[in-house]
Amino acid sequence: MAAACRNQMLALLSVRAVTGRPKARQWSFFRDAVERLLSPGHRSEFDSLPATRAAQYKFEVEAKLRKHYLRTTRAPRFVFSLIHQKDLSLSAIADQDVYPRLAGYCVLVRDRLREAVSEVHNGSA
């Protein structure tokens, strides 16, 4: 699943309509945050990023992702979001103290395929 998630993140970053400039700092931050989730020991140049800059990157990435997900006609398997570490309590994350984070932000990934399989299995679909 990690490889599929990483591949979709890279595919998403290659869509100019989403990123504008895929090598921009906010997308490097997002890429490293996803890598930190998938490989918790991943080192990043953003580890010591000032809180105000991290917040700026988070809001820029989230705005573009939200716009993309609302406009897309083909639902992606994985839906990414960035949240502040204090907001982990609002999610269903069991062990919030050790959840991977980068500069105070965490990536949440929703696997829509797994949800669809679960709905079919539970008779909801």
pLDDT tens for 61-114 read 999 999 999 998 888 899 999 999 999 988 878 788 899 999 999 999 999 887
In a domain, 104, yes or no: yes
- Sign of the alpha-carbon dihedral angle for 113, 71, 23, 55: negative
Question: pLDDT tens across 12-61, in order?
Answer: 999 999 999 888 999 999 999 999 999 989 999 999 999 999 999 999 99
In a domain, 12, yes or no: no
CB neighbours of 65 closer than 8 A, spacing ≥ 6? 18, 80, 81
Map residue 49 onto helix, strand or coil: coil
Q: How many domains does the chain have?
A: 1
What's the domain range around 99? 27-35+50-125
How far apart are alpha carbons 85 and 114 in whole angstroms?
A: 25
In a domain, 95, yes or no: yes
Residue 116 has pLDDT above 80, yes or no: no
Map residue 46 onto helix, strand or coil: coil
Name the residue with tokens 């997308």. 27
Residue 118 has pLDDT above 70, yes or no: no
83 C-beta neighbours (distance < 10 Å), count = 17
